[in-house]
A and B are shown apart, each in its own frame.
Chain A
């Protein structure tokens, strides 16, 4: 075979292999981000509880001050919720939180179970006395802890798998194409 031809072939194979390996790595990073964001939400929920039980802040203000203390994607979620609540566009907290979640969906790596835990909290926020809200907070935090545990186990189990799979699929593709 002539020289230039094989060179292009080799480079193309390497590009495919590199791309698929990278895809595997990027996909495995998502699992890490999910754990990170869940931990961030966990902390933010504690702060929200403090804002409500001790400071007696209004919900938009409480969301805003929690957002200021949180890291990026979660900060945007709480900020959006606060804005939507103070705009008075929605009937209840649940709808505002839901649409804020839809707006920030592209940057949240949480799955639907995690989102449901947070949305369940927003269903009862502002519709009960402090004691009632506190019990809902306790429930939410317990559920979040469960989700964090699940997501950590999932991360440890699957992170390596996605990396190996990315490489293997790339190698299979290269062999088929050769």
Chain B
């Protein structure tokens, strides 16, 4: 069963990244805002990478005869 707290975590991180992006853009630092967005994407990817690898292994076992 999927852990629901992970979804909340991703949601909260997303909200905070949006806030950081807005604050940086209003301060006229667009280039740093892009970097912050990328960092957020990587952060969330690192959270779900275990699940993705699990998905791939289960798909692999499906096709193994």
Enumerate A125-178 residues with CB–CB distance to B below 8 Å: 157-158, 161, 164-165, 168-169, 171-172, 175-176, 178
Whether a CB of chain A sits under 8 angstroms from the CB of B37 is no
- Tell me, in angstroms, the Cα distance from A119 to B38 when the chains sit together: 41
Q: Are B17 and A172 in contact (CB under 8 A)?
A: yes
| CB proximity of A170 to chain B, nearest CB, Å | 10
Q: Chain A interface mostly helix, strand, loop or mixed?
A: helix
Interchain CA distance A169-B20 in the complex, whole Å: 8
Q: Is the CB of A164 within 8 A of B9?
A: no
Question: In terms of DSSP, what is the predominant structure of the interface of chain B?
Answer: helix
Instruction: Look across to chain B and name the residue whose beta carbon is closest to the beta carbon of A164.
Output: B23
B13–A165 touching, CB < 8 Å? no
Q: Roughly how many angstroms separate A113 CA and B47 CA in the complex, as a whole number?
A: 43
Q: Is the CB of B23 within 8 A of A165?
A: yes
**Interface of A with B (CB < 8 Å)?**
157-158, 161, 164-165, 168-169, 171-172, 175-176, 178
Distance between Cα atoms of A8 and B28 in the complex (Å): 39
- Check if A158 sits within 8 Å of B12, measured CB to CB: no
A158-B27, A161-B23, A172-B17 given; 4 more Cβ-contact pairs under 8 Å: A165-B24, A168-B23, A171-B16, A172-B13
Q: Which 8 A-B pairs have the closest CB atoms?
A: A161-B27, A164-B23, A168-B20, A172-B16, A175-B12, A168-B19, A171-B16, A161-B23
Could you write out 20 A-B pairs with CB less than 8 Å apart? Answer: A157-B28, A158-B27, A161-B23, A161-B26, A161-B29, A164-B19, A165-B20, A165-B24, A168-B16, A168-B19, A168-B20, A168-B23, A172-B13, A172-B40, A172-B43, A175-B12, A176-B13, A176-B43, A176-B47, A178-B9
B24 to chain A: which residues have CB within 8 Å? Answer: 161, 165
Interface size (B, Cβ < 8 Å)? Answer: 16
Closest to B9 in A: A175
B-side contacts of A172, CB under 8 Å: 13, 16-17, 20, 40, 43
CA distance A175 to B5 in the complex (A): 11
Give A157 to B25 CA distance when docked, in angstroms: 11
